[in-house]
Homo-oligomer: A and B are copies of this chain.
Amino acid sequence: MSEIGYQMVKENLSQFVDLTPSEFEKFTQQLVYKSLKKKEVLLQEGEVCRNAYFISRGCLRYFFNLEGEDKTGQFFFEGAWYTDFESYITGQPSSENIQALEASELLLLSRKSLLQLFDEIPKLERFGRLIAENAFLGVKARNNSFLNQTPEERYQTLLRERPKVISRIPQHYIASYLGIKPESLSRIRKRMADNT
Contact = CB atoms under 8 A, between A and B. Distances in A.
Interface of A: 64, 66, 71, 73, 85-86, 89, 129, 132-133, 135-137, 139-140, 142-144, 146-148, 179
A148 B85 CA distance: 19
At the interface, is chain A mostly helix, strand, loop or mixed? helix
Nearest to A147: B71
Contacts of A73: 143-144, 147
A142 B64 CA distance: 14
B85 A146 contact: no
Contacts of A129: 129
A140 B137 contact: no
18 contacts: A66-B148, A71-B147, A71-B148, A73-B144, A85-B136, A85-B140, A86-B137, A86-B140, A89-B133, A129-B129, A132-B132, A132-B133, A132-B136, A139-B139, A139-B140, A143-B143, A146-B147, A147-B179
A55 to B, nearest CB: 20
A137 B94 CA distance: 13
Contacts of A136: 85, 132, 135-136, 139
A143 to B, nearest CB: 5
A49 to B, nearest CB: 13
A90 to B, nearest CB: 9
Nearest to A133: B89
Nearest to A95: B144
